[in-house]
Structure formats: C-alpha cells, structure tokens
Amino acid sequence: MRRNVQVPAADQTLRILRYLSARATPTAASVLARDLQIPRSSVYHLLHALAEHGFVFHVRERQRWVLGTAAFELASGYSRQQPLARLGRPIIATLSDRLGESTHLAVMSDRDVVYIAEERAPRRPALVTDVGVRLPAHLTATGRAMLAALPRSQVRAVFPDAAAFADRTGHGPRTPAQLRELLRLVRSDGHAQENGEVQNGLQSIGVAVRDGSGWPIAAIAVTWSAEGPAPSMAVDAVTEAAELLADRLGSPGQQHPEQ
C-alpha cells in the first residue's frame, strides 16, 4: 500500500522553485504567496533559505526573486550526466576535422566552466582545457557565451564585485561593468571570443548550446594559435555545431526572454 507522507516545507520549496523556473522575469514574494497559496511569512523564510544555498537570488533594486546559479547547476548536471557528453563528442570531433583545430564542450559551474569533452587536433599547441578542468567563466569563450545567454540578474549574482574576478594572464574583465560591456558585445555578435586570457598564445571562439527556453546548458568552442588567423568559417561552423547539439538533445535554441 502506498503511503502518502506530507512534508509541507519540502513541498512548498519545490513549488516555489518550479514556479520561478517558469517565469521569464523576476517575481515578488507577495506574488509567490498569492499564486501558490503559501503563507507570506513561510515564503519569505523559504526564499532566504534558498538564497543562502544559491538556489534563488534577490534582485534588491526591484524587490523581486529569480532562480540562482545553484538551480542552473542542477539542470546542467542532469544534462551532462549522459546525453550531453555522449552526443557532444562526435559533434566536436567533426567540428575539429572541419576546422583543423582543437574543439571543446563545456558547462557552467558557479563562476567556472567545466570541460566535459574535448577533441585535440593533430600537431596543435598543448591546451589546459582537458576534460574535468575548471577555468574562470569570464575568461573563456565557452563561459562568456553562456554568461551572455543568462538573464542579467543571474550574471550580477555570480559576479557581484571586483573580488569575484579571477585572473590568469593579466587580461580580461576585472569589474562587473567591464563584464557587462563584454557580454553586450557577445550578444550583439552572436558568439564569444577570447585572446590570450586563458592561455598565452591561444585564442578561441565559443557559442552557447541552448535548451528550448533559450537557457544555456553548455557551450562549444574552437581554439587555435594567436599567431595565425581564425580558421575559415569558424564562427559559422561552431554555431552550426551548437545548434546541432541542441537539436539532438531535443532542445532547439532560442533567445532567452530577458535578453
């Protein structure tokens, strides 16, 4: 016989997360309480507990709430457990053959990207982007592509001040304002670039892999020597690879509502 175990706080917490995940814009606590029929005091307690663990973020200037980066990491973790890496490997291998350069597939994890697949091209420079390696998202082409696809409130939560910006080669954004301007250019161009900010002498182009709501679940990039020109048709080829992976995951990419 099936037992019906009631855990009100857990039930309310999950309902809040589900509700926020379906909203394109930040939501007031009073709206959550009204629509979910949860006492307002309980909503405030649960939101602050979720915020402490990074599952929601309080947009203070608007007195609204949005999903936090921890919720995004759960979604990314689920995606990369099997289908993302499995379906992504042959796509980046084909991309590497097409461009003659090394290619990568990465996901976000807090302020970093984690590389989950890589294809090394023959006779090309050694890279630091091995599978399992973590690198600062704001310095990498894959990270910038994903950050640019996130709501701006999410980016502010991850990079709230200058202390959040790690450095590798002395190049790259060092303040929230510099990052905002860089991501504005990424959105305008439709792809991200980096040159010597991860590893001296190398540069990359990256494009986000989006789910059906436009959320960035991963990014694909190509890396080549900074001494040479970009591979012919690199932007188009990486964009096509990202769209192909999104399609095979059953999540054709589209622009995020807040972008």
Residue 259 lies in a domain: no
Domain carrying residue 45: 8-67
Residue 253 lies in a domain: no
Mark whether 104 and 29 lie in a shared domain.
no
Q: Is residue 96 within 8 Å of residue 236, measured between CB atoms?
A: no
Backbone phi and psi for residue 195, each to the nearest 5 degrees, phi listed first: -140, 105
* CA atoms of 200 and 205, how far apart (whole Å): 15
Mark whether 105 and 220 lie in a shared domain.
yes
Mark whether 55 and 82 lie in a shared domain.
no
Q: Torsion over CA of 68, 172, 108 and 66, rounded to 10 degrees? A: 10
pTM of the model: 0.70
pLDDT of residue 254: 45
* CATH number where 179 lies: 3.30.450.40
Residue 191 lies in a domain: yes
Both structure tokens of 156: 């502010």
* CA atoms of 133 and 139, how far apart (whole Å): 14
DSSP annotation string for 95-117 = HHHHHTSEEEEEEEETTEEEEEE
Mark whether 211 and 152 lie in a shared domain.
yes
Q: Which long-range contacts (CB under 8 A, 24 or more apart) does 40-43 make?
A: 42/9, 42/12, 43/12, 43/16
Give yes or no for residue 4 having a pLDDT over 60.
no
Of residues 186, 255, 206, 211, the one with CA closest to residue 83: 211
pLDDT of residue 178: 97
Residue 256 lies in a domain: no
Of residues 259, 258, 255, 252, the one with CA closest to residue 24: 258
Mark whether 171 and 226 lie in a shared domain.
yes
pLDDT of residue 186: 97
* CA atoms of 206 and 220, how far apart (whole Å): 5
| Domain count within the chain | 2
Residue 1 lies in a domain: no
pLDDT of residue 75: 65
Mark whether 198 and 88 lie in a shared domain.
yes
pLDDT of residue 76: 61
* CA atoms of 116 and 118, how far apart (whole Å): 7
Q: What is the pLDDT of residues 7-54, one digit of tens each?
A: 788 999 999 998 988 787 889 999 999 999 999 999 999 999 999 888
Of 67, 83, 103, the residue at which a domain comes to its end is 67
Confidence of residue 145 (pLDDT cuts 50, 70, 90): very high
Q: Is residue 134 within 8 Å of residue 112, measured between CB atoms?
A: yes
Helix, coil or strand: residue 138 = helix
Question: Could you count the other beta carbons within 10 Å of the beta carbon of residue 232?
Answer: 10
* CA atoms of 129 and 137, how far apart (whole Å): 12
* CATH number where 54 lies: 1.10.10.10
Percent of all residues in the chain with a pLDDT value above 70, rounded to a whole number: 90
Mark whether 108 and 161 lie in a shared domain.
yes
Residue 115 lies in a domain: yes
Supply the DSSP symbol for 162.
G
Mark whether 53 and 166 lie in a shared domain.
no
Backbone phi and psi for residue 46, each to the nearest 5 degrees, phi listed first: -70, -40
Please give the average per-residue pLDDT across 91-100, as a whole number: 96
Q: What angle do CA 143, 70, 90 make, to 5 degrees?
A: 45
Of 67, 90, 116, the residue at which a domain comes to its end is 67
Mark whether 39 and 96 lie in a shared domain.
no
Mark whether 104 and 206 lie in a shared domain.
yes
Residue 238 lies in a domain: yes
Of 27, 49, 67, the residue at which a domain comes to its end is 67
Mark whether 111 and 228 lie in a shared domain.
yes
| Beta strands 134-136 and 202-210, pairing class | unpaired
Residue 210 lies in a domain: yes
Mark whether 238 and 214 lie in a shared domain.
yes
